[in-house]
């Protein structure tokens, strides 16, 4: 997908809300399709994702440098999109590949499979992975399910459902493991967003004065809710960004790690973590950057011959369409080398839309000597 999009990071996707998987609230499938799936039914969106070389190289290398997991095996591709992962699985020697896709992108996937002479191996199935049936269990489940900061979009629910229904006891997951990272950063985004907020409020004041002058209606009672609305938009909503590694001003912290073979929906519905980061120089704390990585390691009993990692960490040369999620502070804080940041993170699903996230970040700053310096708690939204 493109970096300017507000969507997630998938290949067209085939999730629903988790058939057989406990969810926090029932979701209307038609609403979910309109809000989420329909984006992935356009080729321009697929092209954006397929143009991400970091993404493509990682999956390509994972498949072709570990052909022993695919040769003669059955594969399920959850959310096949244009069918690339299914095609690679077949090219790596799979006996049969079931490529599940929720949207009409399935038609393009079938055409692509046929054009590459693999229609006898790859079967494209249009539908939600929770609703479809397969004639057999599979040896491999492959999926590109990751969203912003890993869990936005909640697609992993569908991968878990597919795993629990269709993966053989000896089967492997591609990717096999996933991790979430958080680090303190410096950024001009703080000043920019604060200026945008100030501009929006100044515009409201002018608007309010004009309404009263021209039409005799006092709008001041709405100033506070408007300010809250604008602060959520400009300050509390996480920002997509390509961070330079030099913007990371403290040790990156691991806030979540999971094994895709055993992870459950309940452990990703709410992520809680308490970690510590150490500031690496005299600088200004402007916020926090969040990213993820996934690994292709097979399983303990059937390991990969070549471990592959896909990372979305800040990089000068290897940026991805996921970028990083930046949680900005409206009032940056001066910090010194050796300052300790005790960070608390609680990430849960939005009550209005289970594919979006709410993040509560708390931070206690202590000097290297242990003396308290400053503390705060803020709420953010990944939309």
Asked if 337 is an active-site residue, the reply is no
State how far the Cα of 220 lies from the Cα of 352, in Å rounded to an integer. 28
Containing 123, the helix (H) or strand (E) segment is strand 122-126
pLDDT for residue 32: 53
Low-confidence ranges of the chain (pLDDT < 50): 1-24, 33-34
| Each residue's pLDDT tens digit, 234-274 | 999 999 999 999 999 999 999 999 999 999 999 999 999 99
Residue carrying structure tokens 């990272």 = 181
Task: Spot the catalytic one: 144, 229, 364, 374.
Answer: 144
DSSP state of 199: H
**What domains does the chain contain, in order, with CATH numbers?**
27-143 (3.40.50.150), 178-185+237-380 (2.70.160.11)
> DSSP states of 317-343 as a string?
S---TT-EEEEEEEEEEEE-TT-EEEE
pLDDT for residue 10: 38
pLDDT for residue 125: 98
| Each residue's pLDDT tens digit, 277-301 | 999 999 999 999 999 999 999 999 9
Q: Rounded to two decimals, what is the model's pTM?
A: 0.88
pLDDT for residue 154: 78
Asked if 30 is an active-site residue, the reply is no
Task: Spot the catalytic one: 30, 101, 123, 153.
Answer: 153
């Amino acid at each position: 997908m493109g970096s300017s999009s507000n969507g997630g990071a998938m290949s067209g996707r085939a999730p629903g809300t988790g058939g057989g998987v406990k969810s926090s609230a029932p979701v209307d499938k038609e609403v979910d399709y309109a809000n989420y799936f329909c984006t992935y039914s356009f080729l321009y969106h697929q092209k954006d994702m397929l143009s991400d070389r970091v993404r493509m190289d990682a999956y390509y290398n994972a498949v072709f440098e570990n052909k022993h997991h695919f040769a003669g095996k059955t594969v399920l591709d959850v959310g096949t999109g244009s069918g690339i992962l299914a095609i690679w699985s077949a090219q790596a020697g799979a006996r049969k590949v079931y490529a599940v896709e929720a949207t009409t992108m399935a038609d393009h996937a079938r055409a692509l499979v046929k054009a590459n002479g693999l229609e006898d191996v790859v079967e494209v199935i249009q539908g939600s992975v929770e609703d479809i049936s397969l004639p057999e269990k599979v040896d491999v489940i492959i999926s590109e399910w990751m969203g912003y900061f890993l869990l936005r979009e909640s697609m992993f629910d569908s991968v878990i459902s597919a795993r629990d229904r269709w993966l053989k006891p000896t089967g492997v997951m591609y990717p096999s493991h996933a991790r979430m990272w958080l680090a303190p950063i410096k950024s001009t985004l703080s000043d920019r967003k604060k200026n945008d907020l100030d501009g929006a409020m100044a515009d409201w004041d002018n608007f309010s004065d004009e309404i009263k002058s021209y039409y005799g209606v006092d709008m001041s009672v709405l100033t506070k809710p408007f300010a809250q609305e604008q602060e959520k938009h400009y300050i509390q909503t996480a920002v997509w960004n390509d961070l330079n590694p030099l913007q990371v001003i403290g040790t990156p912290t691991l806030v979540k790690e999971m094994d895709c073979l055993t992870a459950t929906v309940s452990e990703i519905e709410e992520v809680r973590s308490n970690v510590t980061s150490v500031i690496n120089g005299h600088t200004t704390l402007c916020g926090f950057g969040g990213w993820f990585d996934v690994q292709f390691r097979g399983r303990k009993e059937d390991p990969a011959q070549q471990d592959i990692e896909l990372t979305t960490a800040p990089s000068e040369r290897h940026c991805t369409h996921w970028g990083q999620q930046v949680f900005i502070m409206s009032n940056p804080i001066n910090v010194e080398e050796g300052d300790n940041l005790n960070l608390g993170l609680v990430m849960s699903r939005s009550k209005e839309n289970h594919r979006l996230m709410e993040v509560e970040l708390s931070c206690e700053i202590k000097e290297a000597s242990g003396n308290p310096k400053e503390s705060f708690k803020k709420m953010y939204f990944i939309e």
